[in-house]
Amino acid sequence: MRTSLVSMLSVVTLASLAVAGCAPSEEDSADQIKVWSHAGGGKEELAVVQGIVDDYNASQDEVTVVLESFPQSSYNDAVVAAAASGDLPCVVDMDGPIVPNWAWADYIQPLDLPTDLTDSLLPSTVGRYQDEIYAVGAFDAALTINARRSALVDNGIRIPTLDEPWTLDEFDAALVTLSADERFEYPIDLGVWDANEWWSYAYSPMLQSFGGDLVDRETYLSADGVLNGPEGLAFAEWFQSVFERGLASRTPTADGQDFPQGNVAMVYGGSWKALDSAETFGDDAIILPVPDFGSGPVIGGGSWQQGVSTTCANPEAANDYLEFSLQDKYIVEFADAVGVIPATDTAAQQTEYFAEGGLLAELPEFSRQFALVRPETPGYAVISTSFGKAMQDLVAGADPQATLDQAVKDIDANIKSNDGYGF
């Protein structure tokens, strides 16, 4: 008798614990809006975001803003899961290229911000889809080549400038010259240690500089001819040859550490690494623009941006918060803390690194002149993975034309099965 009573009690306790675990989390309401940030774990960036939230709460008392942060690498997965279950916060952080996908899926709504604000932002920090603005960001990032000045000077290589970047031939010749330099294992670290979105972000600009593209931007309905056309093939063959000729390692050290460790003379990477390089090498570190492979230098554009979800209970407050967060002083804070490019010129002048004569002063101009946002289509997720896989196969030695053709096939099939994604 006693045994069965005890067992009944334990069963009931377990069952109620299980149910308690399913309790719904705090909901957005008219006077509380949730903001999600990808900056979890990034101390400096998260501190800036928290500061904005605290300041906004102190500046008015109609709504309270609550910040939730996630580690960046799992952020997108968390957001997709929340979106699928209709549980998105009012203000949601998004990586630029995902904005069209979510706008198409009706997860975010068009923003309601003053035009003079959105006009003052760097074009690549504004997320558009079908001519509506869905997201805005306080910063952008650029792709650059960080190099050792001494390596270039000692080998008689011309140092490129914004107005006169390296051509393909110059760049290639520079790499070959540097490969003879005993001080370095490889002339350049092309960054192939990274995973996922990096492959599309970093190498599609090179493809575009050669004259190809990820998808036909007139129609957004096919990649045939632009990805696997003659320019695309030229890019693929050149890219593969860099590894085959031993000019770059197929297995560089993770996190781009080959450059600070002195194993390579140059590294192709994000501008967010520039500050670290300056710290390690002082004056010997220089920032070079990317080469012009034939159709002008191109770098990626579009970093983290924020939008308002369609399920938000108080979109006016959310838009108000966004406008507040885009004040110059906060853009300056981001730029100073993390080394990302400020979204407005006025803010740039007030920052430590981006003002005239500052360490990173040229980067906003790089971004303005060379940045090409990744294709603004809901199908970008598949374009990105297909292109990324093609690039990885090229590094591994696959046949360039066949690899590009397969990528085109996958992309086109996906666009077709989604009825053109609304184009």
Partner 1 sequence: MSAQSSLDRAPGQERGTGTATSGATRERRHRRDRQGLVGLAMVSPAVLLFTLFLLVPVGLTVVLSFTNARLISPNPPRFLGLENFVRAFVDDPTFIRSLINTFVFAAVVVPVQSALGLALAVLVNTGVRGVTAFRTMIFMPVVTSMVVVSILWSFLYKDDGLINSALSMVTGGADVTIAWLQEPGTALPAIILLSVWQAVGFHMIIWLSGLQTIDPALYEAADLDGAGGWKKFRYVTWPGLRAIRIFVLVTITIAALGLFVQVDVMTQGGPLDSTTSLVYHAVRRGYREQDMGYGAAISLIFFVLVLAISLFQRYLTREKD
Binding positions for partner 1, rule: CB under 8 A? 4, 7-8, 11, 14-15, 18, 80, 83-84, 101-102, 104-107, 195, 249-251, 381-382, 385, 389, 392-393, 395-398, 406, 413-414, 417-419
Nearest C-alpha neighbor of 213 from the set 381, 404, 2, 11: 404
Give dist(CA 157, CA 178) in Å, integer.
9
For partner 1, the closer of residues 105 and 153 by Cβ is 105
The residues, any chain, with a CB within 8 Å of residue 341's CB and separated by 6 or more, are 122, 139, 140, 141, 142, 271, 335, 348, 354, 360, 363, 364, 367
What is the phi/psi pair of residue 73, to 5°?
A: -65, -25
For partner 1, the closer of residues 278 and 383 by Cβ is 383
CB of 69 vs partner 1, minimal distance in Å: 22
Give dist(CA 147, CA 284) in Å, integer.
8
Is the separation of the CB atoms in 335 and 353 below 8 Å? Answer: yes
Is the separation of the CB atoms in 391 and 367 below 8 Å? Answer: no
CB of 89 vs partner 1, minimal distance in Å: 16
For partner 1, the closer of residues 110 and 289 by Cβ is 110
Give dist(CA 328, CA 179) in Å, integer.
44
Alpha-carbon distance values, 323 to 72, 97, 159, 371 (Å):
24, 21, 41, 24
Nearest C-alpha neighbor of 76 from the set 174, 106, 114, 84: 84
CB of 188 vs partner 1, minimal distance in Å: 17
The residues, any chain, with a CB within 8 Å of residue 282's CB and separated by 6 or more, are none
For partner 1, the closer of residues 221 and 398 by Cβ is 398
For partner 1, the closer of residues 37 and 249 by Cβ is 249
Is the separation of the CB atoms in 369 and 168 below 8 Å? Answer: no
Residues in the chain: 423
Q: Can you read off the two tokens belonging to residue 404?
A: 């590009």
CB of 391 vs partner 1, minimal distance in Å: 10
Is the separation of the CB atoms in 272 and 95 below 8 Å? Answer: no
The three-class DSSP label of residue 341 is: strand
For partner 1, the closer of residues 80 and 117 by Cβ is 80
For partner 1, the closer of residues 202 and 348 by Cβ is 202
What is the phi/psi pair of residue 65, to 5°?
A: -100, 135
CB of 104 vs partner 1, minimal distance in Å: 6
CB of 174 vs partner 1, minimal distance in Å: 24
Amino acid at 111: L
CB of 337 vs partner 1, minimal distance in Å: 29
For partner 1, the closer of residues 368 and 389 by Cβ is 389
CB of 373 vs partner 1, minimal distance in Å: 20
CB of 107 vs partner 1, minimal distance in Å: 7
For partner 1, the closer of residues 331 and 407 by Cβ is 407
